[in-house]
Amino acid sequence: MAPLSEVQSSKPLGLCFIEYTRNTCLNLRTYQTIVLILTFFAYASYHATRKTTSIVKSVLDPKTSELGFSAWPRSFLLRAVEDEQRNSGLESGWVPFDSKAGTAMLGVIDVAFLSVYAFGMYFTGHLGDRLDLRILLTVGMLGTGVFTSLFGAGYWLNIHSFYYYLVVQMLAGMFQSTGWPSVVAVVGNWFGKRKRGLIMGIWNAHTSVGNISGSLIASVLLKYGWGWSFAVPGLLIGLVGLTVFLFLPVSPEAVGVDRDDDLLKSCEKSDTTEPLLGEETEVREKAVGFLEAWRIPGVAPFALCLFFCKLVAYTFLYWLPFYISQTAIDGQYLSDSTAGTLSTLFDVGGVVGGILAGHISDHLDARAITAASFMYCAIPALLLYRVYGSVSLFWNITLMFISGMFVNGPYALITTAVSADLGTHSSLHGNSRALATVTAIIDGTGSIGAAIGPLLTGYISAKSWNGVFTMLMIAALIAGLLLTRLVMAEVAAKIRARRSQTATNVPHSSSVGLEI
C-alpha cells in the first residue's frame, strides 16, 4: 500500500471531488463498476474511430463499389447513403483516390495503419508498465481524436495529397496502439482471476459496440460531407479521454483500496503519514523488460496462437459481407445491404463465444484447453459454413453464428483474461508491472495476423473461395496446435490434483496450467 500522501496525489480529481461532495469514501465494488464502464466506453470509442475509414472509403473512391474484389471492401452501410453522396456532389470521388490507383492507395493506407498499430503496441505496452496508465490512455485517446479529425480536415482544407492522409493515418495508428494494453492492464488490476474470464468475456463486447456505433455515426454524417464522419468520432473519443483522465482509477493501490477488508486506506483518519505496511512499502517493483516478458511461460505460444486467431477473425470482419453477396443462398443472391446486415450475426456469435469461453475457462481453470478446443471446433464449423451455408438462409445464419462463436471465442479469451493472467504470472514473484507489456506483446503479434489475413484473401478470393476457407481452416488448426504444450500441462495438473485429492480425501484446487 502506498503512503497516504502518494495515494491522495494519484487519485483522479473527479473521484476526489465525488468523495468530497458525498463526504464519504467509495467502496471496492463502486470502483470496480467505474473501471468496467469507463474502460468499456474508452475502447469502444477507439473502435468507433477505427471504423470510419471503411465507411468513407467508397465516397473517396466510388469505383470500389464496382470492383469484383478489393483487399479492403467497403461497409454495407454505404448503400443507405448513396443518394446523399450523389446530392453532395461527391459521386466523382476525392482526388487522389478517384484515380485508377485510388483503390490501391486506400489499401496502402489501411495496411500502413494496421502495421503501425501492431508494432506500436509493443512500444506502448512497454511504456504502460512504466507510466501512469491513466495518463497514457488519456494521451492515446486525445491523440487518436486529433489525427482522426485531421484526416477529416482534409475535406474542408481541400487537401489532395496522398501522403498527407497516409501520414495522418499512420500517426492515428500509433496513438490507437495505446488503447488495448492500457484497458486490459487496468481491468486486470481490479479483478482477480476467479471470475476474470466471465467478466472480461462480457466486457469484451465493447469491440462490437464500437464498430456498430462508429459505422452508424459515420454513415449518418456522410450527407453533410465526409469530413464530419471523421471529425465527430474524433471529438467523441477526445471527450471520453478527458472523462478517463478525471475518473479512471488505475489500480486499488492507486486510490488506497484494500482488497481484503474493502476499506479505503486513503480515507482512514490517522495522525501519522507512515506507510501502513511498514518496510514493505519501500520496495518498488521494477517494470518487466520486453524480452523478459516474452520469456514468461505461456506468452509466446498464446501470442503466436492469437496471430492465427486474428487472421481468421479479421478476414471475416473485412470480407464476410462481400462473400455473402457473391454467394447464391437457396438459389438467390442477396443485396449488399442485406448481406451486410446478415454478416453482423457473425459478431453476435462472437460476443456469445467470448462470454462462453470466459465462463468455461473460469469453471475449468484451464485457459489453454478452452482456447484450443474452440479453435479445433472452428475448423468443422468453417467447413460446414462453406459447404452448406448456401443451402438456405436458415442454415447460413445458423452456421455463421456458430462459426463466429468458435472463431471469436478464443480471440476474446486470449486478448483479455489470458493476457491479464500472464501479466500477473507466478514467475514474476508478485511483480504486477508486466500487465501492459504482456498484453501488448500478445495483441500486437495478433494484429500482424489481422493485417495479413484480409490482404491474402483479396488475392486468393479472385481465384477461389475454397482456397480462402482452406487458408482459414489451416490457420485455425495451427492456432490450436501452438497451445499443445500448455494444454498437456493443464491436463497433467488436473490429473495430479485429482490423484492428490483422492489420496488425501481433502478438497484440493488444481494448479493453473499457465503457470508452468
Chain segment 480-512, per-residue pLDDT in tens? 999 999 999 989 988 888 888 877 765 554 444
d(CA 354, CA 475): 19
13-65+98-252+288-499 placed in CATH 3.40.50.720: no
Sign of the CA dihedral with 353 first, then 401, 453, and 369 last: positive
Q: For the chain, what percentages of helix, strand and coil (3-state, to nearest 5) are there?
A: 75, 0, 25
Count of residues making up the chain: 516
327: left (phi over 0), alpha (psi -120 to 50) or beta: beta
130: left (phi over 0), alpha (psi -120 to 50) or beta: alpha
d(CA 420, CA 345): 28
Can you read off the three cell numbers belonging to residue 321?
459481407
Buried-state track 493-503, b at ≥16 Cβ within 10 A, e below 16? bbeeeeeeeee
| Cβ–Cβ < 8 Å for 64, 57 | yes
The three-state secondary structure class of 192 is coil
d(CA 175, CA 405): 30
Beta bridge partners of 332: 329
- Helix then strand count (H, E) for the chain reads 21, 0
| Cβ–Cβ < 8 Å for 291, 358 | no
All residue ranges of the chain with pLDDT < 70 are 1-9, 58, 61-92, 103, 192-196, 258-289, 336-337, 340-341, 423-435, 505-516
Angle between helical axes of 179-190 and 28-60 (0-180°, round to 10) = 160
DSSP 22-85: HTS---HHHHHHHHHHHHHHHHHHHHHHHHHHHHHHHHH-GGGGT-S--SSPPPGGGGGGHHHH
What are the φ and ψ backbone dihedral angles of 257, each rounded to 5 degrees? -90, 135
* Residue range 351-367, pLDDT digits in tens: 899 899 988 988 888 88
Sign of the CA dihedral with 200 first, then 253, 249, and 49 last: negative
| Cβ–Cβ < 8 Å for 410, 371 | yes
Closest C-alpha to 245, from 235, 256, 237: 237
Q: What's the whole-model pTM score?
A: 0.73
Closest C-alpha to 58, from 254, 226, 221, 261: 226
Can you read off the three cell numbers belonging to residue 242?
478527458
DSSP 294-311: HTSTTHHHHHHHHHHHHH
Query: Kind and range of the H or E element at 123?
Result: helix 102-128
Cα angle vertex 430, ends 199, 501, to 5°?
A: 70
d(CA 322, CA 343): 9
Closest C-alpha to 416, from 448, 453, 442, 451: 442
Which residue type is seen at 137? Answer: L
Q: Which residues contact 315 (CB under 8 A, 6 or more apart)?
A: 453, 454, 457, 468, 472
Give domain limits for the chain.
Answer: 13-65+98-252+288-499
**Alpha-helical runs (H) found in 129-227:** 133-156, 162-176, 179-190, 196-203, 206-221
